[in-house]
Amino acid sequence: MADFEPRIVTFCCNWCSYAGADGAGVARLQMPTNFRIIRTMCSARVDPEFVLRAFAKGADGVMVLGCHPADCHYIGGNYRARRRIALLRMVLEQYGFDPKRLKLEWVSASEGEKFQTTIVGFVETIKELGPTPLVKEAN
């Protein structure tokens, strides 16, 4: 497992966290390349089915990044996302997944460094957890 490189799906809010990712790239901050970004209009638009499908397709971890509370462009979208992620963690646990494989974080457009540290920290967490449990079942 020393050569394990996790596959991470990252859902980014268009208005804040996607711009934060762009800021991290423009600043040339060093990040692992294990993640793929899916741009959404709001963190509340991330349907639980999207998260479950990402895991079903072999993602080792999923992140949902959105605007800070009270800064959502759609008023309360991030509060809905927070409730949804809490419920999803319980569902994942019921299916035998460690809830740490799903992360919700608030990253604003001006926080390129926070985006970078969030990605680096989550990749390290997933490396410690190992591959998705679905891979173990398939073998």
Q: What whole-number percentage of the chain has pLDDT above 90?
A: 90
C-alpha dihedral, 61 to 6 to 8 to 100, nearest 10°: 20
As a three-state string, the secondary structure of the chain is CCCCCCCEEEEEECCCHHHHHHHHHHCCCCCCCCEEEEEECCHHHCCHHHHHHHHHCCCCEEEEEECCCCCCCCCCHHHHHHHHHHHHHHHHHHCCCCHHHEEEEECCCCCHHHHHHHHHHHHHHHHHHCCCHHHHHHC
Q: Tens of pLDDT along 77-121?
A: 999 999 999 999 999 999 999 999 999 999 999 999 999 999 999
Other beta carbons less than 10 A from residue 85's beta carbon: 20
Q: Tens of pLDDT along 67-77?
A: 999 899 999 99
Tell me the one-letter amino acid at 55: F
Domains and CATH numbers, the chain: 8-138 (3.40.50)
Q: Tens of pLDDT along 18-77?
A: 999 999 999 999 999 999 999 999 999 999 999 999 999 999 999 999 999 989 999 999
CB distance 97 to 138 below 8 Å: no
Q: Determine the pLDDT at residue 138.
A: 53
Look up residue 1 and give its two tokens: 């497992």
Q: Determine the pLDDT at residue 126.
A: 97
pTM of the model: 0.93
pLDDT of 1 > 80? The answer is no
